[in-house]
Each structure stands twice: as structure tokens, then as C-alpha cells.
Amino acid sequence: MIERTIFPNGLRLITIPHRDAKTVTVFLLVGTGSKYEPKELNGVSHFVEHMLFKGTKKRPSALHVAEVLDRVGGSYNAFTGEDSTGYYAKVDAAHFHLALEWVSDIVLHSLLPALEIEKEKGVVSEEINMYRDNPASHVQSVWTRLLYGDQPAGRDIAGTKESVNSFTRDQLLGYWTAQYGAANTVIAIAGPVTKKECEEAVWKLFGAMNTHMPLGKPPVNDSQERCAVSLEFRKTDQTHLAVGGRGFPLFSSKRYIQGVLATVLGGMMSSRLFTNIREDLGLAYYVSTSSDADPDTGSVVTFAGVKNAEAARAVREIVKEYRAMAEHLLSPSELKKAKDNLWGRLVLSLESSDAQAGFYATQELIEGRVFGLDEVYDTIQAVRAGDVREVAKAVFQSAHLNLALVGPFTDTAAFETVLSA
């Protein structure tokens, strides 16, 4: 049974007991990310995440921080997204209290040493270079920028090299202090633990966490009047593209319908686009469709790496399948396959304690509640063929289609014709 606790300072705890498990995961999630950042601080959430591994009052260097869990074979990491930043540690259950103390130490007591800040600017700049040099990764940034432009939702999570190199210690300290408050934080613990044990341990370590109100998130301008194309010229042997439309956000009742739609199109090896683009036409090695449902934005997008000479044809075939979804009902067997696949992949993804802790922490932080898998199953199974067609009609309107492309092309007009044909 998943249990929820709200402490007097506003901190939330989700306990996920598994009596027979051998490992325990401590997963801390803060409600801040790149969508909360002003332009001059683009990338600050990600940079602060890096800096919390660089030394604390108790463990004054990155080596001291890392050695703690390395000595017990623990797995630990952190990540930054658009709406949240997370830190986790997974260990042998015998080391539960060590893992919890370690997470509390880096999140609450980091030093942000000035010398380490300057060194980390180089590290993050190379991380930015790494993704830019990989067209299959970089096309995702081109896609996001095409949809949302020069606003927080359209900027890279890591920031730019210019913004990163401009950060001062005062800016980092101010952002960390403002955003990392108790009411803006969720801790999920999964493993052979009890609610009482977790409550006592968490309150002891986090009871004095600050109660500052965090910076708010600006609204997203998500309007579009005509199809749009963004080409980034690269002398590549393969064209990497993203084509899709604006969809429904996380809180929409159409969220799971949109997930079924994406699964039918390109979410499995027997999906329509994988079968057509790769197996039948031989145009691509990778092709997949995903549903992106965030709190304030949503989209359905197909990513593919295709032969340069066949890029326009590949886009045409993808758009043709989009329109077929908007015009025709799915057969009962195809609908059932997609729903069962969507459900099955979710179940498989939640086998480990770290996956479960992340899943339920995200629910609590973003949606303000924790719901069980039975509710998700019922919602997926309630999707009907007519629902999928109506969502496809809304998402794949010609005027709302978008194409981001990285490859040896400069003529946007030719691709605009493909989208609007």
C-alpha cells in the first residue's frame, strides 16, 4: 500500500513498502526546472544540480561525496527536466539510513565552492557540445525550439554556453535557496521499509528545511496558425527529423488517448510507421512516435533518421499515416494491441524500487496526488477507437503540423508543401 505524509513544513513523503525487497531507493524531487528560468538564467536548474555533488559541510569535496555510496555499491544520480529536478540513491536495504542522510546532505548542505563553479562551467559546456554534435539528439532541441520559440518552454534544459559561463555564485545560491523549499519538495522511499520508520528518519533530517515560496512558472504561449518548418543545415550522411503536432497536456482527459495514438503510430516494432518506414520502404534505421504530455504543453511527434535523398518522401509517408489516423477508425484488434502494449510497457518499467519511487514522486509533485496502477489500467482500457480518431483530428490538422530537421537542406518551402499537401 502506497502511503502519503505531509509534514508541518509542507514537505511530502511517499512510502512504497515492499517487505521482501533487497534494495531501497530514496528519491527526492524538487518542483523546479528549465521552464521556471528567466532567459538570463537559462540552464541554472541543471547547473545547480551538478553543483550539489561538489562538496558539503560534512563531505567537502566531490570525491568525499562520491565515496560514501561507492563504498557500499550504491547507485546514485540526478537529473533536470523542464518541470522538476531529481536526486536519488539506491542501495542494499541495510544502508537505507546512509542513503537518506546522503541525499539530505547534498540537497541541504552543499557548499557551491567558487573554484568548482568555474570548473563545472567547462564540464557543462562540453555536455552541451556533446548533444549538439549528435544530430539524433540535437533534432529534439530543434523540435522544442520550433514549437515554443524564445520562451522557457522552448529553451534547452542545459542552457547555452553563453548563459552557463555567465553564472555567478550569488545567482546559483539565490536560485537554490528560493527553489529548494520544503513545500516544493517530495521524497519517495521504496523498499522494505515502514511508513513510521521513514517518517521519523525524514523528519529528523529535513525538519529544518527552508519554507521559502519558490519562483513561479510563466505561462506558455502555445498558439500556432500555420504549419512550420525549421531546418538546421549539417553535412550529415543521414537526415534526422521530427514531425508532429501540438497535443494535449498532462491534465487533459485525452492524455491516455494520445498515448494510445502514439503507440499505434510508432510505439512498437509492429506499429504502423515502423512497419512502413523501416520494414516496407527501408528508409530509416530508427523511427518512433511518442506522446509528450507535460503540465502545460503536449505534442505527438515522430523521430526518424532517414536517407538524405528520401527525406521528403519519409515526411510525406509519416504525414499520410497521420491523416489516415484522423480519417479512419482503428480495428478492434489494433486498438487492443496498442492499449495492452501501453499498459504492459508501464508495468515492465516499474519493476525496480528506483522506478517506482520516481513514478510516485512525480505523480505527487506534478499532479498533487498519488494514484494506483489500477486507475491507470482502467483509464487506458476505457479508450475507444472513436476517441483516438478525434484526438488525431485535433493534433494532426495541417495548420498545426511542424517539422524539425537536421541535415543537408536549406529549402524550407519544399517541406512546407509536404506538410500542407
Which residue type occupies 269?
Answer: M
Instruction: Report d(CA 302, CA 197) in Å as an integer.
Output: 45
Of the candidates 243, 265, 247, the one whose C-alpha atom is nearest the C-alpha of residue 312 is 243
Measure the N-to-C terminal CA separation of the chain; round to a whole number of Å.
Answer: 53
Strands of the sheet containing 238-246, edge to edge, are 228-233, 401-407, 238-246, 298-307, 284-293
d(CA 365, CA 375): 18
- What's phi and psi for 396, nearest 5 deg? -105, 30
Is residue 28 within 8 Å of 185, Cβ to Cβ? yes
Nearest CA to 233 out of 57, 404, 16, 53 is that of: 404
- 93 SS3 class: helix
C-alpha 387: how far from its chain's center?
26
Q: How many helices (H) and strands (E) does the chain have?
A: 16, 11
- Positions marked catalytic: 49
DSSP string, 191-213: ES--HHHHHHHHHHHHTT---PP
Rounded Cα distance, 135 and 241, in Å: 9
Alpha carbon distances (Å) from 356 to 17, 363, 376, 381: 11, 11, 14, 22
Query: Residue type for 377, please?
Result: Y
Rounded distance, CA 395 to CA 297, Å? 13
